[in-house]
Amino acid sequence: GQMGYQIFHERWEPVPANGWVEVTHTVLPTEVMSYWAWRQKGSGVWYNVGKTIVFPTPADPSKIHQAAIEWLTANCSVPMTPNWPQLESDIFGKCAREKGVDSIQFEPTAGARPWGVFGLPGLTELVLVNLDGDKGCGVAEPSKTLLRGGWLPEPTRPW
């Protein structure tokens, strides 16, 4: 998990479209549409980012996710629920799916040394749009998960 062992590299780069990335996730009952994960090398749980988009993580905590929220809600036809946490699912789940993205990557916090987010070195946030975070494997039927497990991602080996 995110507090266990991980592999740290001095340089952060976004995962390219259709690239595989190792992730960790904690099941939260409020994540009904979208799956918030940590990008964590060494976890052995893989996800193909598909069509992906990258947003900054500003040093100012009041602006975290602001650029993503503005982009995702622009021209989104989904009626927004005014209350959190459903609003999060509306934006990062429904609007993101409507825009056709499979994942949303967040850069490390601007200026953080060593790089990371929320004071956690080596971790960055990633939203897996086509999975639901209230389920461990992201889908109701585990055999249909988009996650893969093992040393290397293998499309035929579900998690």
What are the pLDDT digits (tens) for 133-155? 999 899 999 999 999 988 777 65
Phi and psi at residue 83, to the nearest 5°? -105, 140
Helix, strand, or coil (residue 149): strand
Strand partners, 55: 106
pLDDT digit string, tens, across residues 45-79: 999 999 999 999 999 999 999 999 999 999 999 99
- DSSP type of residue 63: G
Helix, strand, or coil (residue 34): strand
The pair of structure tokens assigned to 82 is: 């005014």
